[in-house]
Structure 1
Amino acid sequence: MSKITVAYWSGTGNTEAMAEAVGEGIKAAGKECAVVSISDISASDLEGETSFALGCPAMGAEVLEEGEMEPFVEEVEKFAKGKNIALFGSYGWGDGEWMREWESRMLDAGANVLNREGLICHETPDDDALEDCRSLGKQLASL
């Protein structure tokens, strides 16, 4: 399947900007892309895809957003085996613990996580962080 979904949750727009840049990288690599908010997609929509990206900022004590993203990720864990998954998100504090835990969950579910320890940026993504996101999109599209 040539369409790659970039699904994200964003509270301030930082992770949304990262998602858009991942999508730009996918398109630059010649693949179709859908960049969608978690509220506009269900986890089951990703079940037939071989590759996709998930984005969420650190919340609270470095956890995934609990209202929408956490239940979404719990559903993805049920079918993640063999999927190529890219993880990304922004944070305002801490050291990336939420991303390490998220990566560990996806690996335990049998996923091929592209970017070990995820792609994270502090607060608003700068030009370098957005370029890293585009590169991640290109990498995902190459699989």
Structure 2
Amino acid sequence: MSKVTIIYWSGTGNTKTMAEFIEAGAKSKGSEVVLKEVGEATIQDIEQADVVALGCPSMGDEILEESEMEPFIEEIKNYVKNKKIVLFGSYGWGDGQWMRDWEERMLSYGAVIQLDCIIANYEPDEDKKEECVELGKKIAQ
């Protein structure tokens, strides 16, 4: 089984909910899972994982949260080359441009984006929760 690390930032709790459903899916397949808020995460969390799931909502003009998530992504850019990464998050407006930008950025750092990113409009509905569980199961293998 793979070691899965899930690191997220959540303002309203929507992205945290998504992270918890991804965690549940990965654990259901027997994976060792580390779930951390980004403020508690370290480079070692990235290095020690087989798969890393990063979650952040869209902020402002469709950008990553700037005080914690943005600096963390900048900090790990030299540690994600050839690392399997999945991205997730919620948004309240726009069309998901922040996620497309984030995906391109991670690819430019050499990360391997294994699966489609998951975005939820506001609070994840039952379908999005199930998508998160399924994502967790897929990254656990």
Query: Could you tell me the TM-score, scaled by structure 1's length?
Result: 0.93
Q: Structure 1, residues 80-118: CA drift from partner, whole Å, max 9, x if none?
A: 1110001000000000000000000111111111234x2
Amino acid at match of 2:49: E
Within-5 A mapping of 1:1-143: 2-116=2-116, 118-142=117-141
Amino acid at match of 1:96: G
Runs of 5+ in structure 2 lacking a partner?
Answer: none
Cα distance in 1 for partners of 2:75, 2:44 equals 8
How far apart are 1:44 and its partner, in Å? 3.7
How far apart are 1:32 and its partner, in Å? 1.3
Cα distance in 1 for partners of 2:140, 2:17 equals 19
Tell which deviates more after alignment, 89-98 or 106-115.
Answer: 106-115
8 Å contact kept, 2:46–2:79: no
How far apart are 1:52 and its partner, in Å? 1.1
How far apart are 1:48 and its partner, in Å? 2.8
How far apart are 1:136 and its partner, in Å? 0.8
Cα distance in 1 for partners of 2:14, 2:7 equals 14
Runs of 5+ in structure 1 lacking a partner?
Answer: none
Amino acid at match of 1:106: M
Q: Matched residues, percent identical?
A: 51
Name the count of aligned residue pairs: 141
Q: RMSD between aligned alpha carbons?
A: 1.3
Cα distance in 2 for partners of 1:88, 1:18 equals 8
How far apart are 1:119 and its partner, in Å? 0.6
Cα distance in 2 for partners of 1:125, 1:107 equals 26
Cα distance in 2 for partners of 1:113, 1:9 equals 19
Query: Could you tell me the TM-score, scaled by structure 2's length?
Result: 0.95
Cα distance in 1 for partners of 2:3, 2:10 equals 22
8 Å contact kept, 2:2–2:50: no
Report SS of the residue matched to 1:78. helix
